[in-house]
């Protein structure tokens, strides 16, 4: 069997400053060979299309995890479209199956293996029909555990990390063409290269909300987290490339732009005049594009909040008054053990400043419950923070030991039963706040950008500026022409997870 492996060498050790773990082990990243310098980023190239006829093929992509993975999956489809692949919603008869995976919490790998088990049946059946199937594992599990996957599953043809999807045409050529490789593992990490392949025209987004990855990777090394090892170092795309992509998306029907990045507010790409820019400045520039009605950005780190970003929240009407700003814990001792590089007072100062600049700012956060050593008092500090900030939504997770991260080998791991109890307590409190917040909208008029039809006949769903899912009943034949429009809605009901209302007719 021919196996092509495109990975950086990975001797195993514990993490040291300046070192970065890549899958099985650690890879030394020196400032000189780092692909991260923003000034190295190239101007966007267009995907070329072949003049020879290409047989139509079916592509199935299953995506787990964050919005960045959703974005990457869309880009994989873009890269494969010129090769004749169009997306289908079921794997049964797909010529190419990609599992785009997430590694942030445990069991992710097991989910991938059970999905691969199901896919083997399709592959075998298709073989009996004389059809071949390419099976690929992509994303963060592929990056971290590529070798384990190929060892355990012999029907996987391609394993590639989050930074390698732009090489899909070459990888397919190597698999099916003269090189005759049976399998390819590509966990190289040249972050900027994947952003250089922009499609000539954007396909219309399935909703008026379009996601644009502006930043990728993480240099923060929180002690619980695998992202710095799977997504690589922080990289910021240049302003020009981002504005071009947004103009194309708006031309294809997007109305709301959600900027994505693991540390999106740490974005520091090259500005239009060659200077190093920041996210606040970028938002002012995006707001000038005709047709951009709403702007959001996620996920942010408290350490990366900066003055121009606060100012943008005050000055840019399209920037929505909602921010997802993960804090993880309200305890200073735990924040320190997590290597978050800020304390609870700094977080409170950020929230106060945001609300000074934008008084109606709503906040959401991520919390990790049961980080090693978390005492009752530490948890009480988290609850006190929740009481003070009154988050309008929050994602909360039980701490999950991730192999290779510093926290995984800490003693004083917390018992599952304690984690369960604390998680329930925290979620109950957030739910109460969410309910109170939504209820406070009853009787108010809220502009809602309609995204899609709801589950009930005649129901249409959109979002308020504060990210609340809002449902309105209208005559069913009007739904299609309402999608993509922002309309005033009078809120008649505020519930835990949504608002209900009526269109305001003038
Ligand atoms: N255990 C539990 N939650 C985690 N997260 C990241 N790593 C872990 C882990 N090891 C959560 C954090 C992060 C979110 C994306 O996932 O809250 O903000
Ligand atoms: Fe993970 Fe921390 Fe980086 Fe967020 S900031 S991606 S939690 S290491």
pLDDT of residue 434: 97
Cis ω for the linkage preceding 38 (within 30 of 0) = no
Whole-number pLDDT of residue 154: 86
At residue 151 the predicted structure's pLDDT band, cuts being 50, 70 and 90, is confident
Check whether 51 has a pLDDT greater than 50. Answer: no
* Cα four-point dihedral sign 313, 317, 319, 323: positive
Give the residue, out of 21, 102, 222, with the most ligand 2 atoms within 8 A of its beta carbon, to mutate for a pocket test.
Answer: 222
The mean per-residue pLDDT over the stretch 374-378 comes to 98
Q: Can you give the pLDDT at residue 328?
A: 98
- Ligand 2 pocket test target in 68, 227, 267, 303 with most atoms within 8 Å of CB: 227
- Reply yes or no on whether the pLDDT at 238 is more than 90: yes
27 pLDDT higher than 80: no
Label residue 170 by pLDDT band (50, 70, 90): confident
Distance 365 CA to ligand 1 centre (A): 11
> What number is the average pLDDT over the span 170-179?
76
Return the axis-axis angle of helices 376-389 and 416-439, rounded to nearest 10°: 10
Q: Which domains does the chain have, with CATH numbers?
A: 3-7+39-190 (3.40.50.12160), 201-320 (3.30.750.210), 321-439 (3.30.750.200), 445-503 (2.40.50)
Contact 79, 112 (CB under 8 A): no
3-state secondary structure of 506: coil
225 close to ligand 2 (CB < 6 Angstrom)? yes
CB-ligand 1 contact for 410 (6 Å cutoff): no
Task: Output the residue whose Cα is nearest ligand 1's atom 6.
Answer: 225
With a 6 A CB cut-off, is 407 part of the ligand 2 pocket? no
Cα dihedral across residues 385, 386, 389, 391: positive or negative: positive
**pLDDT at 4 exceeding the cut of 80:** no
Residue 197's pLDDT band (boundaries 50, 70, 90)? low
- pLDDT on residue 265: 98
Distance from residue 196's CA to the centre of ligand 2 (Å): 25
Q: For a pLDDT cut of 90, what percent of the chain falls above it? A: 68
| pLDDT score, position 179 | 52
Distance of CA 329 from the midpoint of ligand 1 (Å)? 11
For residue 368 and ligand 1, the question of a CB distance below 6 A is answered with yes
176 token code pair = 């099916």
> Model confidence at 66, in pLDDT bands (50, 70, 90)?
confident
pLDDT (0 to 100) of residue 52: 54
User: How far apart, in whole angstroms, are the C-alpha atoms of residue 271 and residue 41?
Assistant: 12
Q: What dihedral do alpha carbons 208, 269, 320, 464 form, nearest 10°?
A: 30
The chain-wide mean pLDDT, for the chain, equals 86
Rounded to two decimals, what is the model's pTM?
A: 0.84
Q: Ligand 1 pocket, 397 CB below 6 A? A: yes
Residue-level pLDDT at 150: 85
Q: Kindly give the distance from the C-alpha atom of residue 130 to the centroid of ligand 1, in angstroms, as a whole number.
A: 44
Q: How far apart are CA 65 and CA 16, in angstroms?
A: 28
Ligand 2: centre distance to CA 300 (Å): 9
Indicate if ligand 1 lies below 6 Å from the C-beta of 402.
yes
State the pLDDT at residue 47. Answer: 40
Cα separation, 212 vs 480, whole angstroms: 25
Confidence of residue 306 (pLDDT cuts 50, 70, 90): very high
Ligand nearest to the CA of 300: 2
Ligand 2 site, residue 301, Cβ cutoff 6 A = yes
pLDDT at 206: 73
Backbone angles phi, psi at 489, to 5 degrees: -125, 135
The helix, strand and coil proportions of the chain, stated in percent and rounded to the nearest 5, come to: 35, 25, 40
Nearest ligand 1 atom, CA 396: 17
């Amino acid at each position: 069997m021919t196996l092509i492996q495109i990975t950086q060498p990975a001797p195993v050790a514990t993490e040291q400053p300046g070192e970065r773990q890549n899958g099985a082990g650690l890879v030394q990243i020196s400032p000189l060979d780092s692909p991260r310098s923003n000034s190295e980023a190239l101007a966007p190239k267009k995907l070329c299309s072949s003049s020879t006829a290409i047989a139509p093929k079916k592509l199935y992509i299953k995506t787990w995890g964050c919005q960045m993975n959703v974005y990457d999956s869309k880009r994989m489809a873009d890269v494969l479209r010129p090769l004749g692949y169009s997306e289908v919603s079921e794997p049964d008869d797909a010529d190419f199956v990609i599992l785009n995976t997430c590694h942030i919490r445990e069991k992710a790998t097991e989910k991938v293996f059970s999905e691969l088990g199901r896919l083997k049946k399709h592959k075998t059946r298709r073989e009996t029909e004389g059809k071949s199937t390419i099976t690929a594992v992509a994303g963060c599990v592929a990056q971290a555990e590529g070798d384990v996957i190929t060892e355990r599953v012999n029907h996987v043809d391609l394993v590639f990390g989050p930074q390698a999807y732009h090489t899909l045409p070459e990888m397919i050529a190597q698999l099916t063409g003269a090189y005759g490789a049976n399998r390819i593992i590509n966990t190289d990490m040249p972050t900027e290269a994947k952003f250089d392949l922009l499609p000539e025209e954007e396909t219309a987004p399935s909703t008026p909300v379009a996601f644009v990855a502006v930043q990728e990777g993480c240099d923060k090394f929180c002690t619980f987290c695998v992202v710095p090892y799977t997504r690589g170092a922080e990289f910021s795309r240049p302003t020009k490339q981002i504005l071009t992509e947004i103009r194309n998306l708006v031309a294809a029907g997007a109305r709301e732009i959600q900027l994505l990045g693991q540390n999106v507010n740490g974005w520091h790409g090259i500005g239009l005049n060659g200077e190093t820019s920041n996210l606040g400045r970028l938002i002012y520039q995006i707001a000038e594009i005709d047709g951009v009605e709403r702007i959001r950005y996620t996920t942010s780190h408290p350490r990366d909040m900066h003055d121009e970003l606060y100012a943008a929240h005050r000055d840019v009407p399209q920037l929505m008054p909602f921010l997802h700003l993960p804090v993880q814990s309200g305890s200073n001792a735990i924040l320190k053990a997590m290597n978050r590089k800020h304390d609870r007072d700094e977080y409170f100062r950020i929230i106060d400043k945001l609300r000074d600049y934008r008084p109606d700012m709503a906040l959401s956060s991520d919390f990790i419950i049961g980080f090693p050593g978390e005492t009752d008092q530490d948890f009480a500090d988290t609850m006190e923070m929740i009481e003070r900030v009154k988050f309008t939504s929050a994602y909360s997770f039980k701490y999950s030991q991730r192999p290779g991260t510093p926290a995984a080998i800490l003693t004083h791991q917390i018992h599952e039963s304690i984690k369960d109890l604390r998680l329930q307590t925290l979620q109950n409190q957030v739910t109460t706040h969410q309910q109170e917040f939504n209820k406070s909208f009853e009787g108010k008029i809220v502009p809602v950008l309609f995204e899609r039809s709801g589950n009930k006949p005649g129901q249409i769903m959109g979002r308020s500026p504060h990210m609340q899912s809002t449902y309105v009943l209208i005559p069913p034949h009007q739904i299609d022409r309402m999608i993509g429009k922002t309309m005033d809605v009078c809120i008649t009901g505020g519930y835990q997870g949504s608002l209900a209302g009526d269109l305001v007719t003038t």
